[in-house]
A and B are shown apart, each in its own frame.
Chain A
C-alpha cells in the first residue's frame, strides 16, 4: 500500500553538470520499497510542473538503529521537473508517493545476476544489488555511459561486492562503445547450463538490444521500462506498454501496475512510445 510523504531534501549531491542524487527523508516509503519499484515525485506544491514524475528508488538508507530513514533518487536534468530536482537545496520539500509498481524478481543462489545499465538507467540497480548480495547472489553490473565522468557510484557497487564491466561512448573508460559490447562477450563465454538472470534498464533501444542479445543466447531479461506516466496508480491509462503473452495478440497494459518491470521477451518493442514513421 503506497503512502504519500512531503519529504524534506536531506542532501543534493551533484555528480556532474547533468546528474545529481537527491536524498529524501521518506522513511515510510523507503521501508516498504522493493528493488525496481518507483515513486511518483513532484517538487513543491505549485501547478508547474503539475503532474508528478516516476523515479526509481535509487538507494534506501538507514539510521543508526538499522531502520529505513529515507531514499535517494538518481536524477538527470532534462525537463521541467528534473531541472527543478537538480536545483533543490537541503530543506526543500518533495512530494513522494510510493512505493509503486512491480519489483524485480531477485535471483537466488546458485543463480548469478547480471545487471545491465545505460546512463540514468543505473537508478534501480543499487537497491537490486543490495537485495541480491544480501541473498549471497554473485552479481555483475554492465554499465554504459557517454564518458568516464558519467559512470557513477562505482565504489558503492564495488563495496557491495558487485563485479563491474564498463563501456563508454567515447572510450574514456571500459569498452569503447555500447554496453552490449562487454555483455555480448560475457554471454559468448557463458556455459549454457550456467544459471544467470539478466536485468536491464536504460534507453529503450538498449533494453531491446539486451533482450534480443540475451534471447539469442537462450536467456530471458527483466527490463525496467520508463514510460510517461500520469498518476502511477492505474487511473489514467497513459503509461501503457504493448505486451504479447502466451502467443496472443499484443495488448496495452499499464506500466504502473503491470510494470515497470517486464519480461523483455513479452514487450512489443516496435509499439513502445514514439510516433509511427
Chain B
C-alpha cells in the first residue's frame, strides 16, 4: 500500500512531503547537498536574509543545555542579492523547494527583500522572520506586537504574490492572537515556534555562556510547549500551520501533525543527524500504513480530545 505524503501548505505551496529543513539550521541548503538529496525534502527554509550582508555575533554563539541548546548567531548572512546570485541557482539545479526566510530592521527593509525575491527564479515561498530573539532591531520586536505583526505582514503582502508564511515567536502570552493578526494581514500560513528567549551562566566565571548574553532555546526541551502552541493556533485560527520545536524523529513530527500542523520543520535534530530526512519519511510512511491512512492529510488535526474539553483552546491557568 502506498500512502500520499504530499501536503498543501497554503497559498498554492504544495510539498511532496511535510518535512522542511528549519531556517538557521541548514545553512543555505547547498552545504548539505553532499549528504542529502535536497529534492527529497518537502522544502528547505534557508538561513534568514536581510538586504545586506551581516557578520553576526562574536563566539561563543551556542551552548548546550539539558535536551536542548541555546543559540545567538545574530543572523550572520550574505544578504538577499548575493543569495539570489550565488545560492538560488544551485538550489534550483538540485530540485530543492526553497522557502526563503527574510528579516528586516524596518518594515521597508522586509518589503524590499521580499520584492527582490519576488523577481527571482526558484523561490517557492517567503517565511517572514518576525521572531528572532537575537537581534536588536527588527525580528522579535515586530513579532511581539500585534500591530507590528499585522503591519509587517501587510507590507510584504503588498509587494509579493509568493506564499507568505510569518514565523511566530513563542515569547508571547497568546500565540493564537498573533496567528490571527498574521491571517488578517494576508498571510497564507504561519510557522511556529521560533526559539524561546533563554540564558545560561558559567558559574565559575559568573559570565553568560553566550557572547550575546541571551539566546534562543531549541531542541527536545521545548517540544511540549511548541506542540501546545500549535494546538492553540489550530483551535483558534483557520490557517495552515507549519509546526516546529524539538522534532527528533517521526513520532515527534506526528505530535505536531496531529495537533494541527500541515507540515513540520526540523532544525536542531539536523545538527545531530544530517541523515535524518529519509528516516522521517520512512517513519511517517510506516505510521500511516499501520493506521490504514491513505495520506498525511488524514492525520493533520486528528487530535482526539476528551469530550469535556473538546473545542477548548486554552490551557489550564
Whether B196 sits at the interface, judged by CB under 8 Å, is no
Whether A161 sits at the interface, judged by CB under 8 Å, is no
Knowing A235-B31, A251-B55, say if A51 contacts B64 (CB, 8 Å).
Answer: yes
Determine if A236 and B272 form an interchain contact, defined as CB atoms under 8 angstroms apart: no
Determine if A275 and B62 form an interchain contact, defined as CB atoms under 8 angstroms apart: no
Determine if B248 and A252 form an interchain contact, defined as CB atoms under 8 angstroms apart: no
Determine if A252 and B56 form an interchain contact, defined as CB atoms under 8 angstroms apart: yes
Whether A4 sits at the interface, judged by CB under 8 Å, is yes
Whether B171 sits at the interface, judged by CB under 8 Å, is no
Whether A108 sits at the interface, judged by CB under 8 Å, is no
Determine if A240 and B271 form an interchain contact, defined as CB atoms under 8 angstroms apart: no
Determine if B59 and A227 form an interchain contact, defined as CB atoms under 8 angstroms apart: yes
Whole-angstrom distance between the Cβ of A266 and the nearest chain B Cβ: 16
A52 to B35, CA, bound (A): 17
At the interface with chain B, which of A42-50, A146-154, A191-199? A42-50
CB-defined interface of A209-235 with B at 8 Å, one 1/0 digit per residue?
Answer: 000000000000000000110110111
Determine if B274 and A97 form an interchain contact, defined as CB atoms under 8 angstroms apart: yes
Within 249-305 of B, Cβ neighbours of A (below 8 Å) are at 268, 270-275
Whether B219 sits at the interface, judged by CB under 8 Å, is yes
Determine if B47 and A237 form an interchain contact, defined as CB atoms under 8 angstroms apart: yes
Whole-angstrom distance between the Cβ of A267 and the nearest chain B Cβ: 12
Whole-angstrom distance between the Cβ of A94 and the nearest chain B Cβ: 13
Determine if A47 and B67 form an interchain contact, defined as CB atoms under 8 angstroms apart: yes
**Which residues of B have CB within 8 Å of A48?**
66-67
**Which residues of B have CB within 8 Å of A49?**
64
A16 to B295, CA, bound (A): 57
A257 to B63, CA, bound (A): 20
Given B59, B66, B76, B272, which contacts A272 in the complex, CB threshold below 8 Å?
B59
A257 to B73, CA, bound (A): 17
Whole-angstrom distance between the Cβ of A161 and the nearest chain B Cβ: 36
**Which residues of B have CB within 8 Å of A231?**
25, 270-271, 274
**Which residues of A have CB within 8 Å of B147?**
none
A52 to B81, CA, bound (A): 33
Determine if B69 and A240 form an interchain contact, defined as CB atoms under 8 angstroms apart: no
Whole-angstrom distance between the Cβ of A264 and the nearest chain B Cβ: 17
A51 to B64, CA, bound (A): 7
**Which residues of B have CB within 8 Å of A80?**
64
Determine if B67 and A236 form an interchain contact, defined as CB atoms under 8 angstroms apart: no
Determine if B220 and A50 form an interchain contact, defined as CB atoms under 8 angstroms apart: yes
A241 to B26, CA, bound (A): 19
Determine if A4 and B274 form an interchain contact, defined as CB atoms under 8 angstroms apart: yes
**Which residues of A have CB within 8 Å of B68?**
50
Using a Cβ–Cβ cut-off of 8 Å, how many residues does chain A contribute to the interface with B? 36
Given B25, B61, B67, B76, which contacts A235 in the complex, CB threshold below 8 Å?
B25
Determine if A50 and B59 form an interchain contact, defined as CB atoms under 8 angstroms apart: no
**Which residues of A have CB within 8 Å of B76?**
237, 240, 252
Whether B34 sits at the interface, judged by CB under 8 Å, is yes
A104 to B125, CA, bound (A): 41
A272 to B68, CA, bound (A): 24
**Which residues of A have CB within 8 Å of B82?**
none
CB-defined interface of A40-80 with B at 8 Å, one 1/0 digit per residue?
Answer: 00100001111110000000000000000000000000001
A227 to B254, CA, bound (A): 35
**Which residues of A have CB within 8 Å of B208?**
275
A257 to B76, CA, bound (A): 15
Whether B37 sits at the interface, judged by CB under 8 Å, is no
A239 to B207, CA, bound (A): 20
Given B60, B64, B219, B271, which contacts A236 in the complex, CB threshold below 8 Å?
B271
CB-defined interface of B1-44 with A at 8 Å, one 1/0 digit per residue?
Answer: 00000000000000000000000111100011011000000000
Whether A109 sits at the interface, judged by CB under 8 Å, is no
Please give 4 more A-B residue pairs, beta carbons under 8 A apart, in addition to A50-B69, A50-B272, A272-B59: A233-B31, A240-B59, A251-B55, A276-B211
Q: List 7 A-B contacts (CB under 8 A).
A: A47-B67, A47-B220, A51-B271, A236-B62, A240-B56, A242-B58, A273-B59
* A-B pairs with lowest CB-CB distance, top 7: A234-B31, A231-B271, A238-B62, A47-B67, A238-B61, A235-B27, A273-B59
Report which B residues bind A (CB closer than 8 A). 24-27, 31-32, 34-35, 47, 55-56, 58-64, 66-69, 71, 73, 76, 207-208, 211, 219-220, 248, 268, 270-275
